[in-house]
Amino acid sequence: MSGSKTVQVKEKKLEEISGIGPATAEKLREAGYTDLMTIAIESPRNLAEVCEIGESTAAKIINSAKEAVDIGGFETGDEILERRRSIGRLTTGSKALDELIGGGLETQSITEVYGEFGSGKTQLCHQAAVNATMPEDRGGLNGEVVIIDTENTFRPERIAQMSSAVGLDPVETLKRIHVARAYNSAHQMLLVEKAAELAKEKPVRMLVVDSLTAHFRAEYVGRGTLAERQQALNTHMHALLRFGDLHNAVILCTNQVAAKPDAFFGDPTRPIGGHIVGHTATYRVYLRKSKAGKRIARLVDSPSLPEAECVITVNEDGIRD
């Protein structure tokens, strides 16, 4: 199977667009127009007001941005078929869980794992990261991994332990896992762009966001901010999906359940982010604690697979049946 696709996303700088000088570029950035896409879809009137320029100049800038930006376009059916053919599967470490989700974590899709604290979400991310570096004949993707860590729960020691358990060299494995701490939701979103840069040099085949929603939840508090939060989450998830498509990568995200009734989602077993996250994720797995090291994984509202459950184990070696 081929590695990352050869599609190049060339993002021009604002200053490279005709009509945008340094001063205008600065005003644009200050107003939040940090990339060409946001300029390309803006109206001349709004842009003129923000940059204190004439509407006709603004219109010219918008047109140039439209030409320069990689909006993406139409693909023919056979191209989509070709892309679908390259879809890969990554083992979770548990055969039962792999089967539950149709043969392992799917590339070019988002898998969301949600559950309460200690349910094993972060452990699963560590295990999948190790597995992604394994060769394809062992259920891996023979790739590198990017982990966006929002809660400072990445543990290299755990990666080393899990690597040894499957006979991989711990140091070599750690070298293929790239971790960035995200300090807030905006930073988290920017890190997806950084990951895309890294993926130009390295065969990144998995992107982990652990946790997808924690920052968003902490920052957008109160009913009035719900729409904003959902919009930001939506943008973030589409950036992730795009990364998955371009690099034929697994996107693995974790999500908490509201421990106490959430202001927005009263049901305490509902994952944060509601339907925005739910509709963009292709696979949603609900993890809950059981006896000893056992966890119950449930596949929730999948379009093509039956809703079912399986039991997995979390132990020193990692995730197992």
Q: By CB under 5 A, which span of 43-51, 82-90, 146-154, 218-226 interacts with Mg ion?
A: 146-154
- Binding residue (CB under 6 A) for ligand GTP from 21, 54, 72, 118: 118
The nearer residue to ligand GTP, 86 or 315, going by C-beta atoms, is 315
CA atoms within 13 A on the CB side of 88: 26
Helix (H) or strand (E) holding 199: helix 185-201
Number of chain positions touching ligand GTP (CB under 6 A)? 14
Q: Which does 315 bind (CB under 5 to 8 A by kind): ligand GTP, Mg ion, none?
A: ligand GTP
For residue 197, count other CB atoms closer than 10 A to its CB.
Answer: 10
- Binding residue (CB under 5 A) for Mg ion from 24, 108, 111, 122: 122
The nearer residue to ligand GTP, 108 or 185, going by C-beta atoms, is 185
Q: By CB under 6 A, which span of 19-27, 48-56, 100-108, 121-129 interacts with ligand GTP?
A: 121-129
Residue 293 engages ligand GTP in binding (rule: CB under 6 A): yes
The nearer residue to Mg ion, 46 or 153, going by C-beta atoms, is 153
Give the chain's radius of gyration (CA, Å).
21
Q: Is 259 exposed, middle or buried (0-12, 13-18, 19+ CB in 10 A)?
A: exposed
Cα–Cα dist 193/206, whole Å = 14
Phi, psi of 176 (to 5 degrees): -100, 5
Q: By CB under 5 A, which span of 7-15, 52-60, 113-121, 266-274 interacts with Mg ion?
A: 113-121
Q: Which of 267, 265, 306, 308 is nearest to 286 (CA)?
A: 308
Cα dihedral: 214, 220, 223, 228 (round 10): -110
Token duo for residue 227: 């729409």
Residue 315 engages ligand GTP in binding (rule: CB under 6 A): yes
Residue 121 engages ligand GTP in binding (rule: CB under 6 A): yes
Residue 256 engages ligand GTP in binding (rule: CB under 6 A): yes
Residues found near ligand GTP in the complex (CB under 6 A): 115, 117-123, 153, 256, 293, 314-316
Residues found near Mg ion in the complex (CB under 5 A): 121-122, 153
